[in-house]
């Protein structure tokens, strides 16, 4: 039975959108982009209501989610009051220019949002590539477990994103899909 997965994200420069597309490919999920004003497209709230799993995504700006994503999160309080996302699967990803960049704070902010909504969390489930011979292009090189973390130099184009990060995003999407199917 195919499960409905929606990926709701904000992307300031296109890098986070590229990560969202890789997660969507792996999860066979639909994309829902938060616009530059922090709003969902027409019918977005209904699409989220019908989802079995929601994957949140945002760049890490100044050590946390973008203001556009935060606006979306704050607007979800109406859904929270009705417990509209309770027991849905939740997961998250973030991208920033630096390898560390306080991405974990961003992931924990999205984790907290999911927990406020009563969602069931899906982490990466991936082992880190921390062997002595690890390369930046390895899967889960950034060793993130709470959610997907990727890094793109600020002067890199979306075509220059690290292939290992894109493979990690694809695998993360597959994990969300498999978790949704397992819980069906």
Tell the CATH topology of 5-182: Rossmann fold (3.40.50)
Beta bridge partners, 89, equal: 53, 120
pLDDT digits over 116-146, tens only? 999 999 999 999 987 778 888 889 899 999 9
**Confidence tier at 87 by pLDDT (50, 70, 90):** very high
**Confidence tier at 65 by pLDDT (50, 70, 90):** very high
Beta bridge partners, 55, equal: 7, 91
- Which stretches of 28-162 are DSSP H helices? 44-49, 67-75, 77-81, 103-116
* Average pLDDT over every residue of 12-28: 96
Rounded to two decimals, the pTM is 0.96
């Amino acid at each position: 039975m195919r499960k409905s997965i929606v990926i709701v994200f904000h992307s300031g420069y296109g890098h986070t959108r590229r990560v969202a597309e890789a997660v969507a490919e792996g999860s066979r999920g639909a994309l829902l982009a938060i616009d530059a004003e922090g709003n969902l497209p027409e019918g977005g709230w209904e699409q989220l209501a019908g989802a079995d799993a929601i994957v949140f995504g945002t760049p890490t700006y100044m050590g946390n989610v973008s203001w556009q994503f935060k606006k979306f999160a704050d607007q979800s309080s109406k859904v929270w009051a009705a417990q509209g996302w309770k027991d849905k699967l939740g997961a998250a990803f973030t991208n920033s220019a630096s390898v560390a960049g306080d991405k974990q704070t961003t992931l924990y902010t999205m984790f907290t949002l999911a927990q406020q909504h009563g969602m069931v969390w899906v982490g990466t489930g991936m082992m880190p590539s921390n062997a002595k011979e690890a390369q930046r292009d390895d899967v889960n090189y950034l060793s993130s477990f709470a959610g997907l973390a990727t890094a793109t130099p600020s002067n890199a184009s979306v075509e220059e994103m690290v292939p290992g990060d894109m493979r990690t995003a694809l695998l993360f999407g597959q994990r969300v899909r498999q978790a949704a199917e397992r819980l069906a």
